[in-house]
Structure 1
Amino acid sequence: MTKEINYHMSPEEFRRRGYQTIDWIANYMQKVEDLPVLSQVKPGEIRANLPDAAPQTGESYDAILNDIDRIIVPGLTHWQSPNFFAFFPAGASAPSILGELMSAGMGVLGFLWATSPACTELETHVLDWLVDMLGLPSHFKSSETGGGVLQDSACSAAVVSLIAAREQAQADINRLVAYTSKEAHCSIERAAKIVGLRPENVRLIEVDEHYAMCPEELQQRIEADIQAGLIPCYLAATVGTTSSNGIDPIAKLGAIAQEYHLWFHVDAAMSGTAALCPEFRWIHQGLEQADSYCFNPHKWMMTNFDCNCFYVKHREKLVQALSIMPDYLKNEATESGQVIDYRDWQIPLARRFKSLKLWFVIRHYGIEGLQHYIRKHVALAQEFAQWVNSDPRFELVVDPPLNLVCFRLKGGDSVNQALLQHLNASGKLYLSPTRLNHKLTLRLSIGQAQTDRNHVKQAWQLICNYADVLIQQPSTKFVEVKLANHFR
C-alpha cells in the first residue's frame, strides 16, 4: 500500500516560520523609512525576475522569503513609510496586523450569524462603539432602527447605498437621477454605472471657493430634472473630498434631500476619523439627516486595508434591497429574526472576520491614543501650511481644514509638474497631484502611523531645495543635470 504524502507544514514548522515571518515584518517596519518611497523599478521588471512556469515541486520557505527581499520589496511603493504623503494615509499598526493574522488563522466566513456568531456579534458591537466614539447620530446603532457593517471600501458603500436608493424610489431606472459634487470621489459615478443608472443622469454639482458643494445649484438642478420628467433619487455628500479635503454643507444638503425625498449618503472616507476628537466633530454637523454614512478606519485610524464602516438609518431598507434566501442558506437562527446576517448588507456573500483587527486597534490604543495621533497629524498639516503661506515662492491653494495641504510653486503648471516629478523620483518622499481651479496642485497628506514632525520638516526642506533650482530654470536639460548633481 502506497504511503500518503503530506505536503502540509507541520505545526512545529508553521510555528517556526510564523516567528520568522513576524520578525521579517517587524524588521520591515523598522527600516521602511530608509527605503525609496516610490518604487524605482521599470514596467515589466518584476515579471522579468520571476520564473516562466510555476514550480513542479514545492520550494523551501527560505527561498520564498529570499525572493520577497530580492524581487518583491524593490517593486513596492512603501505606503507604510513615514515619508509617504501621497493620496491618503494607509497606516497599518502592529495590533491591526496581528488582528488580521488572527483572522486569517481562524479562516472564518461570516456571511450568516450561524456560520460564526462571534464574527457577526463582535462586528455589530464594535460598530456600535464607533457611533459613540465619533459622536454619530444614535439611530446608526443596532439597538435602534439602523446599524453598521464593515464594507471593503467607500466604493462598495456607495454601491449598496445607491442600490437602496434605487429600490426606495420604485421607479423606471432610466428616469432616476443621482447628485454629487464635481469634487466628489469618482466612486459615486462608478456606483451609478454598476447600479444601472444612465450616465447622463448623474449630476456633478458645482462647488464654492472652499470646494464644497453649492446647495443653491443642487436645488436648481433637482427642480429642472423634475420639470423634465426625471426622478431625483440619490444625493451623495462628501466630508473631506479627495482633491482638497473640501467639506460639503451637510445640514443644508440634508434639508434639500428631505424636501425632495432623496436617499442622502455621506462619504467621510478619510476625514471621518477626525471626529474621534470632539473639537473636529463640526465636520458632521447635520449628519442626523443622512440615510447612510461611511468612513474608512483603513485610512487614518491605524487599521490596515480593507476596513470601511458603513451605517444606515433604517437597516430594513438595505436588507430588503439586497436580501435573497436560497434553501442552502436557510437556518433556524436566521428564521427566528433574532440575528443579523451581514450577507444582506453587502455585495458579496462571503466575508472575512474584519472586525477583529478593528477591535484590536481600539483596545490597544484606546480612544485617547487614537485622539493623540489625529491631533498630532492635524497640527503637523497646519504647521506645514504656515510654512507654505510664509514663503513667497509658494501659494496655499485652499486653507486645510484637517490633515491635507494643497499647495503650488508659483510659476505655472510646468514648473509644478517638474517639481513633483523630481521630488518623487528622489525616493525621499511621495506626493500626489490634483487639479484645483484648473491648476496643477500638489497634495501633502499627513496621517501615516509613524510620521513625525521631523519627516514633515525634511519634506518641506526638500521641496524648498528643489524649488530653488527650478526657479532659476534656464533649460529643462540644465535643471535635470543640476538637480541630479545637487541631490546625489
Structure 2
Amino acid sequence: MDWDEFAGWSKQIADWGAQYHKTLRDRPVRAQTAPGAIAAQLPARPPDQPEAMDEILRDFENIVMPGMTHWQHPRFFAYFCANAAPPSMLAEQLVNTVAAQCMLWQTSPAATELEGRMIDWMRQALGLADGVTGVIQDSASSATLSAVLTMRERATGYTGNRHGLSGKGPLRIYCSDQVHSSIDRACWVAGIGQDNLIKIPGQGPRFGMDAAALDAAIRADIAAGHTPAGIIAITGGTGVGGSDDLTAIARVAQDHDLYTHLDAAWAGSAMICPEFRDAFWAGVDAYDSIVFNPHKWLGAQFDCSIQFLRDAEPQLNTLKIEPEYLKTSGDAVTNYSEWTIPLGRRFRALKLWFLLRSYGLDGLQTRIRNHVAWAEELCEAIRALDGFDISTNPILSLFSFRCPGDDAAQQRLVDALNDDGRIYLTQGSFDGRKVIRVQVGQFDTTRDDVMAVARVVQEVWEAIR
C-alpha cells in the first residue's frame, strides 16, 4: 500500500466509523454469536499472496463485526464503560500515524512534556494538592502493581529487587473485601501471595473497611512476626461502588508508617465535580499513590490510566533501571519509562489534550452529573417494579437489584436481557447473593436510554418468568 492509497482508505474508514456510531442504537449491545462461530470463518493458514483492501474490509464487516460487543453503545450499562469520545479517537489516529515509541524524553520530547502537563491539568481538575506528580499508565492494573511493588521494596529496605524475597518473612498488604481482582493479581505477581493480602470486611452505607479492624489486623500481624507493607483503599469499587473513609484509613497508615495506594479507577473521574469530593475524596492528599482511569468515565479512548504520586522517588527507586543505551546526556529530563513497568510507551497524553480542550471541564462535569442523576432516577423506577428489590442504592451512578426468585433467577434474567440485545447488564455478588448490576456512564447515553432499562427489564422478566 502506498501513501495515496492509505489516504483514500483512511477516508473510507472514517466515513464508516461515523456511520457506525450514528447507527449504534440499531444494533444489539452484546455480540449475539456462539463460541467458535467467528474462528470457524477464518482460514486455518495465513495467506501466501497479498489480498485487496476492499476484500479485507468486506470480511471485517461480515465476519468481525457480528462478533463485537459494542462498548460505545448508548445502552451499555455493564462493567464500567470504556468510552471513546470523537476528539479522543482523532488524537489516536494521529498517534497511530506518527507511531512514536515514547519511552524517553529524547525519543519524543513533545510526548513527555505534554504528558507532564496533562497530569497536572488532571491534578487540578480532581482537586489534588500542589506538588503531586504522576505518570500515564495503560490501565489501573499496572498502576496498582507498580504501587504494590513499591510497597514491597519499601518494606524490605529496597532489597527485594536485588536479593529476592527469600528470608524476608511474610509481607502483608491490607485492603477491603470490595476491591477489584487486580489487587489480588498484583499481590500474586509481586510475590506477596494471596494469603498475605488481608481483606477487611466492608460495612456501612458505602461498604468501606472499618479503620479499627484494619488497625487491629496490622497489630496482630506485627505480633505474629509478619511485616506490614502497605494499605490499598478504594473509592468506587467495581462490585457495588464500595468506598473507604480515606481520612480514617490514612490515619492508620500513618500510625504504622505504611505506604498507601488508592484505587479510584472508575469513581475518580467524578471528582472533577467538586460537590462529590466531601463524600468520596476527603483525605485523599494523604495517599502516596492514586489511580484513576480517564478511559472509563471521562471519554479518553482506552487505554489511559493516570497514577498520581505524592512523591515519585519510592516508585522510581523500585522500577528505575538504566542500562547504557537508555541513558540521556545533557540537561536533566523526565523519562517516564523509569516510572512504569513497561519500557515501551504509547503517546497517551495527546488524547487527553484533545479531549479536555474539546469539551472543557464544564462539558465533562455536565455529563457526569447527568449520569449520577439518571442512575438515581432509574433506581427508583426499578424499585417500583413488582417483586423487585434494590440490593445496593446508588453510589454515584452504580447500583444493583434483584428480581423475584433465587440466584438462578437472577442469572436467568441477566442472560435473557443480554440475549434480547436492547441493553447490556452484568451480574455481580453482594452479601453472599447474586445481584444484577447497573452502571450509567456511556459517554453519549441519554436519559431516554437510561430509563429504557426499567422498561426492558420488566418486559423481559414478564416473558421468562
Q: Does 1:462 align with 2:456?
A: yes
Q: Does 1:315 align with 2:309?
A: no
Q: Does 1:247 align with 2:233?
A: no
Amino acid at match of 1:86: A
Task: State the partner residue of 1:187.
Answer: 182
**Aligned mate of 2:191, from 196, 213, 221:** 196
Task: Give the gaps of 5 or more residues in structure 1.
Answer: 1-8, 141-146, 474-488
Q: Does 1:410 align with 2:404?
A: yes
**Aligned mate of 2:327, from 326, 330, 333:** 330
Amino acid at match of 1:218: L
Query: By how many angstroms is 1:253 displaced?
Result: 0.3
Normalised by the length of structure 2, the TM-score is: 0.95
Amino acid at match of 2:409: V
Task: Give the gaps of 5 or more residues in structure 2.
Answer: 158-166
What SS does the aligned partner of 1:396 have?
Answer: strand
CA distance in 1, matches of 2:297, 2:314: 30
What SS does the aligned partner of 1:369 have?
Answer: helix
CA distance in 2, matches of 1:243, 1:342: 32
Query: By how many angstroms is 1:45 displaced?
Result: 0.8
**Aligned mate of 1:289, from 286, 291, 305:** 286
Check conservation: 2:91, 2:351, Cα contact below 8 A.
Answer: yes
CA distance in 1, matches of 2:25, 2:60: 18
Query: By how many angstroms is 1:374 displaced?
Result: 0.5
**Aligned mate of 1:352, from 346, 363, 377:** 346
Query: By how many angstroms is 1:92 displaced?
Result: 0.7
Report the count of equivalent residues.
454
Check conservation: 2:127, 2:271, Cα contact below 8 A.
Answer: yes
What SS does the aligned partner of 1:400 have?
Answer: strand
Q: Deviations over 1:338-379 (max 9, x none)?
A: 211101111110101010111111110011110111011111
Amino acid at match of 2:33: V
CA distance in 2, matches of 1:404, 1:457: 14
Task: State the partner residue of 1:381.
Answer: 375
**Aligned mate of 1:28, from 16, 20, 32:** 20
**Aligned mate of 2:210, from 210, 214, 225:** 214
CA distance in 2, matches of 1:324, 1:134: 31
Query: By how many angstroms is 1:173 displaced?
Result: 4.3
CA distance in 2, matches of 1:153, 1:366: 23
Check conservation: 2:102, 2:112, Cα contact below 8 A.
Answer: yes
What SS does the aligned partner of 2:32 have?
Answer: coil
Amino acid at match of 1:60: A
Query: By how many angstroms is 1:198 displaced?
Result: 2.9
Please give the root-mean-square deviation of Cα atoms over the aligned residues, in Å: 1.2
Amino acid at match of 1:199: Q
Task: State the partner residue of 1:438.
Answer: 432
**Aligned mate of 2:358, from 360, 364, 373:** 364
Check conservation: 1:150, 1:307, Cα contact below 8 A.
Answer: yes
Task: State the partner residue of 2:142.
Answer: 156
Normalised by the length of structure 1, the TM-score is: 0.91
Amino acid at match of 1:397: S
What SS does the aligned partner of 1:43 have?
Answer: coil
Query: By how many angstroms is 1:148 displaced?
Result: 1.2
CA distance in 2, matches of 1:423, 1:391: 16
Check conservation: 1:137, 1:287, Cα contact below 8 A.
Answer: no
Query: By how many angstroms is 1:276 displaced?
Result: 0.9
Task: State the partner residue of 2:61.
Answer: 69
CA distance in 2, matches of 1:173, 1:269: 31
Bigger mean CA offset, 406-415 vs 187-196: 406-415
What SS does the aligned partner of 2:131 have?
Answer: helix
What SS does the aligned partner of 1:115 have?
Answer: coil
Check conservation: 2:176, 2:201, Cα contact below 8 A.
Answer: yes
Amino acid at match of 2:54: D
CA distance in 2, matches of 1:357, 1:160: 23
Q: Deviations over 1:436-464 (max 9, x none)?
A: 01111001111111211111122210101
CA distance in 1, matches of 2:17, 2:35: 26
**Aligned mate of 1:168, from 145, 154, 170:** 154
CA distance in 2, matches of 1:135, 1:386: 31
Query: By how many angstroms is 1:390 displaced?
Result: 3.1
Check conservation: 2:25, 2:73, Cα contact below 8 A.
Answer: yes
Check conservation: 1:174, 1:198, Cα contact below 8 A.
Answer: no
Check conservation: 2:294, 2:306, Cα contact below 8 A.
Answer: yes
Q: Give the 5 Å matches for 1:31-70.
A: 31-70=23-62
CA distance in 2, matches of 1:305, 1:442: 25
Q: Which has the larger radius of gyration?
A: 1
Bigger mean CA offset, 251-260 vs 204-213: 204-213
CA distance in 1, matches of 2:193, 2:363: 46
Q: What is the identity percentage for the equivalent residue pairs of Structure 1 and Structure 2?
A: 38
Task: State the partner residue of 1:90.
Answer: 82
CA distance in 2, matches of 1:290, 1:209: 22
CA distance in 1, matches of 2:70, 2:87: 19
Amino acid at match of 1:291: D
CA distance in 1, matches of 2:457, 2:7: 46
What SS does the aligned partner of 1:114 have?
Answer: coil
Superposition misfits of 4+ residues, deviation over 6 angstroms: none
Query: By how many angstroms is 1:25 displaced?
Result: 1.0
Query: By how many angstroms is 1:465 displaced?
Result: 1.7
Query: By how many angstroms is 1:414 displaced?
Result: 2.2
Query: By how many angstroms is 1:281 displaced?
Result: 1.5
Check conservation: 2:169, 2:227, Cα contact below 8 A.
Answer: no
Task: State the partner residue of 1:300.
Answer: 297
CA distance in 2, matches of 1:365, 1:421: 36
Check conservation: 1:292, 1:311, Cα contact below 8 A.
Answer: yes
What SS does the aligned partner of 1:450 have?
Answer: coil
Cα 1:440–1:260 change in 2 (3 A) is: same
Bigger mean CA offset, 461-470 vs 183-192: 461-470
Query: By how many angstroms is 1:469 displaced?
Result: 4.1
